[in-house]
């Protein structure tokens, strides 16, 4: 590998292979594709929420979500019938924080996850469809010492599983910083555009098209800028400026459409699971598959 | 995946139309281009055919040109595809291509057959091994996993993460990570190199020639410059962590202490770098530091290459500090502004005469008597690397441009490097005489440097430590 390209690793990611995109360990184990998509979507949101409660910075959270998403990909990835999405989410976040400038303790992580996964107290729609109780009841999200020991064991075990599954490829390059650089290069001074671009980048983390696993950060950055500028009515330079940032028109088009579709996707997901809990562990996934089987048999 | 891809297509007819429009435009462009190319090709073919028919024998004439013409005059379908190809190539050549990287699960360590043990470092056991399918000889390093209440040791994670990123001809190549039957059996598979610099120096009768030292330093600097450009600090540079093969190539190894740094530098542990190669700011307890600590270690290694002996062999932290000051002269607020505010500097009592003798902010030249065979520019480089003030130490990139490397004797070509019998190849490497890198998780010691100058005020700073009486040892 030439040196100039080797240096670019800092700005680039390992991408999913076509084989990893076409089949997953979960689908081999009989998990319907749409269910897998839903669980991945919920798991990524769970990671995001936990990261916020742990006061981690967004770059760590984003890296953890990418690691979480990578884990499930391909026939050699993790299966939702063997590994619980909630455990993988917690371990991905814990491990990413450990490697960052803001490490956090297993206890903090597990406290936060106990709260977020509480069926009574969780603020997450896919865990607690009834919504927040009027009065907080701490008993609902208290982590007992025994529970802590058991959960901690699982956390550290799943951490090793993630590392093994990803071949220790923990590097995740994010598009956020280069987005700002590109905006400066393009002479866009509007904070609204920058904010909107970041919003697109952050919601793309939850994309069912796995944008962070199929496209390099520079392409994500360019697409978010293109879309944010258009939504804000800010005119960018004439000409094919994206080529300056090494993105071709086709990739840009695909990413823009994918980013635009995120809102609709999120709406459809919450509509689809309205009033129901999304399965975030293996038992719940098994139960959901069984439920669907029964429904089909009943028809 | 296909289902999710179709989702946006269904939902966004507008954008779809946009894309379709673009595609149509592109297709048209391609067609026009292909047409143009076809005409041009036809022209050249015609010319070629003409010239050929003029010169070649009837035999050859009937052979080559008709074949080409047949393809050319074929239906138009074939023409556009080749046009598309060429256009795509053109577009691609304009855009930067990122390295193609993938991820996949770890393989099992049973794919390797262990040959012999090489050494035990602070972060793992290293052995020579052979990949069974390819027969290639590699170095297999087992990560130490005990004492990890926080899960996978962060040092191991950092070692892998930084090594995977540090692809450079002067950094040891991590091929892959493999695992054993148990989750805590993790091995790094790396290129095998015959020597480490420490063992070589120990076994040599005479130190390296000046031209060889330059070749070694240039490779070392080039690797280090790359690491720093990737925001990686090595934090344990020493001669035993510099590996060499029999082709004169030097590679930086053992990233057990390496980590990313940032700007502004994050708060980091001071318990890094093997004592003899540890910089004064670390010894004085600086909580933020940067790649300058690697440059200090590089200075120590430079000195070691010159004299064949480790430059500053302190017995403990306090002794190390006094050895450093004996070599460089004591710090003053002129040459190292702000050193007084470092945690461990409070107990440091400096001989009063020094504060006035030093003039200017440039680091003083090291005593020439210590390095009799070094040229002036070489001494200047060494002195700047061993500057007490981290801010004035040159960066690796600056060192690479230093006149020392351009003056005679020129660096020896790698190919001309002598070869040495390998210690690592067959037998266990000898027990290290160098102290080991500090262990992670230890408490940073609060050091009392009151005795560094032995209570005596020293004589003149110029002579290598002659003026200091050390109470330690």
| pLDDT higher at A269 or B454 | A269
Residues of A in contact with B152 (CB under 8 A): 95, 98, 156, 159-160, 163
Cα gap A154→B110, rounded to integer Å? 27
The residue ranking higher by pLDDT, B454 or A250, is A250
**Which position has the token pair 């190849």?**
B425
* Cα distance between residue B12 and residue A266, in whole Å: 15
Instruction: Clarify whether residues A145 and A24 are in a common domain.
Output: yes
Give yes or no for A266 touching B (CB within 8 A): no
The CA–CA distances, whole Å, from B44 to B38, B48, B72, B76, B183 equal 10, 6, 12, 18, 65
Distance, CA of B221 to chain centre:
8
Average the pLDDT over B180-205 and give the result: 89
Q: Cα(B8)–Cα(A209) distance, rounded to whole angstroms?
A: 9
Cα–Cα distances in angstroms (integers) from residue B273 to residues B118, B170, B430, in the given order: 22, 20, 21
Residue A206 and residue A116 share a domain: no
Active-site residue, B236 included: yes
Q: Is A35 in the same domain as A137?
A: yes
The confidence score (pLDDT) of residue A187 equals 92
Quick check: A265 and B7 CB within 8 A?
Answer: yes
Residue of A12, A159, A216 lying closest to B152 (CB–CB): A159
Residues forming a β-bridge with B365: none
CB atoms near residue B414 (< 10 Å): 16
What distance in Å separates the CA atoms of residue B195 and residue B205, rounded to the nearest whole number? 16
**A91: in domain:** yes
What is the predicted pLDDT for the residue at A242? 92
- Lowest mean per-residue pLDDT among B67-76, B172-181, B344-353: B67-76
Predicted confidence (pLDDT) at residue B355 exceeds the cutoff of 50: no
Q: Is the pLDDT of residue A294 over 60?
A: yes
Domains of chain B: 107-191 (3.30.200.20), 195-426 (1.10.510.10)
CA distances from B217 to A5, B208, B234, B411, B418 (A): 24, 11, 16, 9, 16
Residue A274 forms part of a structural domain: no
Instruction: Answer yes or no: do A167 and B177 touch at CB < 8 A.
Output: yes
Q: How many CB atoms lie within 10 A of CB B10?
A: 9
**Contact between B355 and B364 (Cβ < 8 Å):** no
CB distance from B77 to chain A under 8 Å? no
Q: State chain B's mean pLDDT as an integer.
A: 77
Does the pTM surpass 0.90? The reply is no
Catalytic residue among B150, B184, B203, B236: B236
Residues A32 and A137 grouped into a single domain: yes
Best of B2, B13, B101, B103 to disrupt the A interface (most A CBs within 10 Å) is B103
- B25–A contact, CB cutoff 8 A: no
A161 interfaces chain B, CB cutoff of 8 Å = yes
Q: A139-155 burial by CB neighbour count: b if 16+ within 10 A, else e?
A: eebebeeeebeebbeeb
Q: Is B118 helix (H, G, I), strand (E, B) or coil?
A: strand
Check: CB of residue B226 under 8 Å from CB of residue B265.
Answer: no
A221 and A97 assigned to the same domain: no
Q: CATH no. for residue A192?
A: 1.10.472.10
How far is B147 from chain A, CA to nearest CA, in Å?
Answer: 13
Mark whether A29 and A166 lie in a shared domain: yes
Identify the three-state secondary structure at position A99: helix
Dist. CA B453–CA B472, nearest whole Å:
10
- Total structural domains in chain A? 2
| A47, A120: one domain | yes
**Residue-level pLDDT at A189:** 87
Please report which confidence band the pLDDT of residue A63 belongs to, taking 50, 70 and 90 as the band edges: very high
Whether A68 and A210 map to the same domain: the answer is no
- A79 and chain B in contact, CB less than 8 A: no
Distance, in Å, from the CA atom of B157 to the CA atom of A95, rounded to the nearest integer, reads 9
The whole-angstrom separation of Cα B96 and Cα A59 is 25
Q: Does B55 touch chain A (CB under 8 A)?
A: no
Say whether both A28 and A157 belong to one domain: yes
Q: Considering the domain boundaries, does residue A139 fall inside one?
A: yes
- Please tell me the distance from the alpha carbon of residue A239 to that of residue A233, in angstroms, as a whole number: 17
Q: Do B377 and B402 contact (CB within 8 A), yes or no?
A: yes
Q: Do residues A33 and A109 both lie within one domain?
A: yes
Q: What is the pLDDT of residues B142-154, one digit of tens each?
A: 988 776 788 898 8
Please tell me whether residue B29 adopts helix, strand or coil conformation: helix
What's the domain range around A64?
Answer: 20-171
The CA-based angle B365-B370-B371, given to 5 degrees, is 80
Chain B: give the shortest CA distance to residue A195, in Å. 23
Is A232 in the B-facing interface, judged by CB distances under 8 Å?
no
Check residues B7 and B240 and name the one with the higher pLDDT: B240
CA-to-CA separations, B330 to A137, B300, B355, B458, in angstroms, rounded: 63, 17, 9, 10
Q: For chain B, say whether A283 makes contact (Cβ under 8 Å).
A: no
Alpha-carbon distance of B8 to A204, in angstroms, equals: 14
Compute how many other C-beta atoms are within 10 angstroms of the C-beta atom of residue B154.
17
Instruction: Give how far A133 is from chain B: nearest CA, Å.
Output: 34
Taken in order B172, B173, B176, B178, the sign of the CA dihedral is: negative
- Classify residue A282: in a domain, yes or no: no
Strand partners, B177: B188
User: Among A132, A154, A171, which residue terminates a domain?
Assistant: A171
From chain A, the residues in CB contact with B95 under 8 A are 243, 246-248
Number of H helices, E strands in chain A: 15, 0
Same domain assignment for residues A151 and A202: no
Q: Is position A150 within any domain?
A: yes
What H or E segment, with its residue span, contains residue B376? helix B376-385
Shortest CA gap A232–chain B (Å): 18
> How many CB atoms are located within 10 Å of the residue B375 CB?
15
- Averaged pLDDT score across all residues of chain A: 92
Closest partner CB to B105 (pick from A167, A216, A218): A167
Average pLDDT (A20-40) is: 94
Binary contact (A209, B97; C-beta < 8 A): no
Using CA coordinates, name the residue in chain A closest to B225: A7
Q: Which of A171, A190, A215 is the last residue of a domain?
A: A171
- How far B185 CA sits from the closest chain A CA (Å)? 10
**Does A136 lie in the same domain as A210?**
no
> Does position B438 have pLDDT exceeding 50, yes or no?
yes
CA–CA gap between residue B118 and residue B179 (Å, rounded): 19
């Amino acid at each position: 590998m030439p040196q100039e390209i080797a240096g670019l690793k800092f700005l680039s990611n390992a991408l999913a292979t076509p084989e990893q995109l076409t089949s997953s360990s979960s689908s081999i184990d009989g998990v319907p594709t749409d269910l897998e998509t839903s669980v991945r979507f919920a798991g990524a949101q769970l990671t995001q929420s936990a990261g916020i409660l742990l006061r981690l910075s967004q770059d760590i959270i984003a890296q953890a979500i990418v690691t979480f998403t990578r884990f499930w990909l391909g026939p050699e990835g993790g299966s939702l019938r063997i590994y619980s999405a909630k455990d993988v989410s917690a371990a991905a976040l814990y491990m990413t924080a450990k490697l960052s400038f803001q490490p956090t303790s297993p206890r903090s992580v597990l406290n936060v996850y106990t709260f977020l996964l509480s069926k009574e107290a969780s603020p997450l729609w896919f865990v607690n469809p009834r919504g927040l109780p009027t009065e907080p009841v701490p008993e609902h999200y208290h982590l007992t010492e025994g529970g802590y020991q058991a959960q901690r064991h699982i956390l550290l075990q799943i951490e090793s599983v993630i590392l093994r599954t990803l071949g220790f490829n923990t590097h995740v390059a994010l598009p956020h910083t280069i987005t700002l650089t590109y905006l400066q290069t393009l002479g866009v001074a509007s904070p609204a555009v920058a904010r909107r671009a970041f919003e697109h980048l952050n919601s793309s983390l939850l994309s069912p098209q796995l944008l962070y696993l199929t496209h390099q950060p520079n392409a994500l950055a360019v697409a978010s800028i293109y879309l944010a500028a258009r939504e804000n009515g800010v005119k960018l330079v004439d000409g094919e400026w994206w080529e300056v940032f090494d993105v071709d028109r086709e990739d840009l088009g695909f990413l823009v459409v994918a980013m635009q579709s995120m809102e609709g996707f999120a709406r459809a997901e919450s509509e689809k699971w309205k009033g129901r809990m999304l399965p975030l562990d293996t038992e719940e996934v098994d139960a959901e598959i069984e439920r669907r089987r029964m429904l089909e048999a009943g028809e | 995946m296909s289902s999710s891809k179709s989702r946006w297509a269904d939902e966004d007819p507008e954008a779809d139309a946009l894309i379709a429009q673009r595609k149509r435009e592109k297709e048209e462009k391609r067609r026009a281009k292909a047409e143009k190319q076809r005409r041009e090709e036809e022209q050249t073919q015609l010319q070629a055919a003409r010239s050929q028919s003029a010169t070649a024998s009837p035999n050859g004439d009937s052979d080559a040109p008709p074949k080409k013409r047949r393809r050319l005059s074929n239906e138009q379908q074939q023409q556009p595809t080749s046009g598309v190809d060429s256009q795509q190539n053109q577009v691609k050549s304009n855009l930067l291509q990122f390295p193609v990287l993938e991820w996949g699960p770890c393989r099992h360590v049973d794919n390797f057959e262990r040959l012999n043990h090489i050494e035990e470092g602070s972060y793992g056991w290293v052995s020579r091994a052979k990949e069974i399918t390819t027969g290639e000889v590699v170095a297999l390093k087992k990560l130490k996993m005990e004492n990890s209440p926080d899960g996978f040791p962060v040092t191991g994670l950092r070692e892998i993460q930084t090594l995977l990123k540090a692809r450079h001809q002067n950094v040891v190549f991590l091929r892959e990570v493999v695992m054993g039957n148990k989750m805590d059996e993790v091995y790094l598979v790396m290129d095998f190199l015959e020597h480490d610099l420490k063992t070589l120096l120990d076994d040599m009768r005479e130190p390296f020639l000046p031209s060889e030292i330059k070749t070694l330093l240039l490779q070392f600097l080039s690797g280090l410059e790359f690491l720093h450009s990737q925001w990686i600090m090595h934090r344990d540079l020493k001669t035993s962590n510099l590996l060499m093969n029999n082709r004169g190539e030097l590679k930086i190894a053992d990233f057990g202490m390496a980590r990313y740094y940032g700007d502004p530098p994050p708060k980091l542990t001071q318990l890094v770098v093997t004592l003899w190669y540890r910089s004064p700011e670390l010894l004085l307890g600086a909580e933020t530091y940067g790649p300058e600590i690697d440059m200090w270690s590089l200075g120590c290694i430079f000195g070691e290459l010159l004299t064949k002996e480790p430059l500053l062999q302190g017995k403990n932290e306090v002794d190390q500090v006094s050895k450093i000051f004996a070599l460089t002269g004591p710090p003053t607020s002129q040459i190292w502004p702000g050193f007084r505010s470092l945690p461990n500097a409070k107990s440091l009592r400096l001989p009063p005469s020094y504060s006035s003798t030093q003039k200017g902010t440039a680091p003083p030249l090291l005593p020439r008597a210590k390095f009799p065979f070094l040229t002036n520019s070489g001494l200047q480089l060494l002195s700047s690397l061993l500057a007490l003030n981290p801010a004035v130490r040159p960066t690796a990139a600056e060192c690479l441009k230093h006149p020392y490397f351009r003056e005679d004797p020129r660096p020896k070509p790698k190919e001309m490097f002598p070869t040495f019998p390998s210690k690592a190849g067959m037998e266990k490497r000898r027990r290290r005489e160098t102290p080991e890198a500090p262990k992670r998780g230890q408490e940073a010691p609060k050091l009392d440097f009151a005795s560094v100058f032995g209570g005596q005020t020293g004589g003149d700073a110029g002579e290598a430590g002659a003026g200091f009486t050390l109470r330690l040892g």
